[in-house]
């Protein structure tokens, strides 16, 4: 329902005027629908539906007249995957006329803080023996990233380094080059973890995605095949873990299990000269 309203006039249905997706490199549209119900006592309750199988985070921008919101300004709400009639907050009307105007912005996944369990021990995303071609902060393309590039021949198995659910995938990219325009050709899988962080597995083979959005993933599971798509000079797997807060990405340093009693920090995984 889209109605033009004026905050100075009486009771109006909610107007959802703007949907802003702030997720970095997001593909597709937000699958969130916001709506209201008027309760018998004149209060307005806001609800959200999510048609996607993965959670979204929304932030409300409220313009109210003669109403008191039940949430703090700028409060973020996480809407679980496939949620129906998920209650957000209540707007309490005072006596007489009141009006409300609600905007929201949505982000796929968790956008509520830079959460990451730093004690978690990840599996390697490819089989051993591994060859690191670029580490955290690498000058070639990781200057501002805690990301690892594992050199590996195309078509090798990509293994889930941690359990979670599939947040996003792309598998239709066919090309690689070292120009900015090639980034969008990169195939990938993103897996959302229980702590809200996300692991990205990049440069996968054309049609090399073995999972669907919303799938639960076990640690060690084969999820796809490595490739050389996107901004890439040679076959490799790019692996990074990040979290979002207000749309800003923070990269997290990870620990990896390298076999019997050998746990290593991602900072120590560097190319051999």
Residues that bind Zn ion (CB under 5 A): 147, 149, 238
Q: Which CA distances in Å does 233 have to 108, 183, 186?
A: 30, 12, 12
In the bound state with Zn ion, the residue whose beta carbon lies nearer, of 18 and 24, is: 24
In the bound state with Zn ion, the residue whose beta carbon lies nearer, of 148 and 192, is: 148
Alpha-carbon gap, residue 154 to 138, rounded angstroms: 22
* Residue 199 C-beta: closest distance to Zn ion, Å: 13
Q: Which CA distances in Å does 60 have to 13, 16, 73, 177, 265?
A: 16, 10, 8, 40, 39
* Residue 208 C-beta: closest distance to Zn ion, Å: 17
In the bound state with Zn ion, the residue whose beta carbon lies nearer, of 59 and 146, is: 146
Residue 76 contacts residue 112 (beta carbons within 8 Å): yes
In the bound state with Zn ion, the residue whose beta carbon lies nearer, of 69 and 235, is: 235
* Residue 147 C-beta: closest distance to Zn ion, Å: 5
Residue closest to Zn ion (Cβ): 238
* Residue 134 C-beta: closest distance to Zn ion, Å: 6
Alpha-carbon gap, residue 61 to 104, rounded angstroms: 6
In the bound state with Zn ion, the residue whose beta carbon lies nearer, of 69 and 230, is: 230
β-sheet with 44-50: strand ranges across: 32-38, 44-50, 86-93, 67-69
Q: Give the closest residue to 167 by CA, choosing from 191, 131, 135, 140.
A: 191
Alpha-carbon gap, residue 31 to 33, rounded angstroms: 7
Alpha-carbon gap, residue 149 to 139, rounded angstroms: 12
Would you give the DSSP letter of residue 8? T
* Residue 252 C-beta: closest distance to Zn ion, Å: 15
In the bound state with Zn ion, the residue whose beta carbon lies nearer, of 61 and 184, is: 184
* Residue 238 C-beta: closest distance to Zn ion, Å: 3
């Amino acid at each position: 329902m889209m109605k033009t309203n004026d905050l100075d006039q009486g009771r109006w249905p909610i107007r959802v005027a703007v949907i802003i997706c702030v997720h970095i490199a997001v593909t597709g549209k937000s699958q969130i629908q916001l709506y209201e119900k008027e309760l018998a006592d004149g209060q307005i309750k806001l609800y959200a539906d999510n048609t996607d199988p993965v959670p979204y985070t929304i932030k409300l921008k409220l313009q109210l007249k003669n109403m008191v919101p039940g949430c703090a300004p700028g409060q973020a709400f996480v809407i679980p995957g496939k949620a129906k009639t998920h209650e957000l907050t209540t707007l309490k009307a005072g006596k007489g006329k009141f009006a409300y105007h609600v905007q929201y912005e949505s982000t796929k996944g968790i956008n509520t803080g830079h959460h990451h369990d730093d004690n978690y021990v990840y599996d390697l995303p490819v089989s051993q023996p591994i060859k690191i071609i670029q580490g955290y902060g690498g000058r070639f393309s990781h200057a501002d990233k805690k990301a690892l590039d594992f050199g590996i021949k195309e078509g090798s198995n990509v293994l889930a380094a941690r359990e979670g659910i599939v947040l996003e995938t792309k598998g239709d990219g066919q090309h690689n080059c070292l120009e900015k325009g090639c980034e969008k050709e990169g195939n990938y899988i993103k897996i959302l973890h229980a702590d809200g962080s996300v692991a990205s597995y990049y440069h996968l083979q054309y049609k090399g995605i073995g999972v669907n959005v919303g799938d639960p993933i076990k640690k060690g599971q084969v999820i796809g095949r490595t490739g050389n798509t996107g901004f890439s000079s040679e076959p490799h797997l790019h692996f990074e873990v990040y979290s979002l807060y207000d749309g800003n990405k923070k990269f997290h340093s990870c620990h990896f299990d390298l076999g019997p009693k050998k746990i290593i920090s991602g900072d120590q995984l560097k190319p051999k000269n």
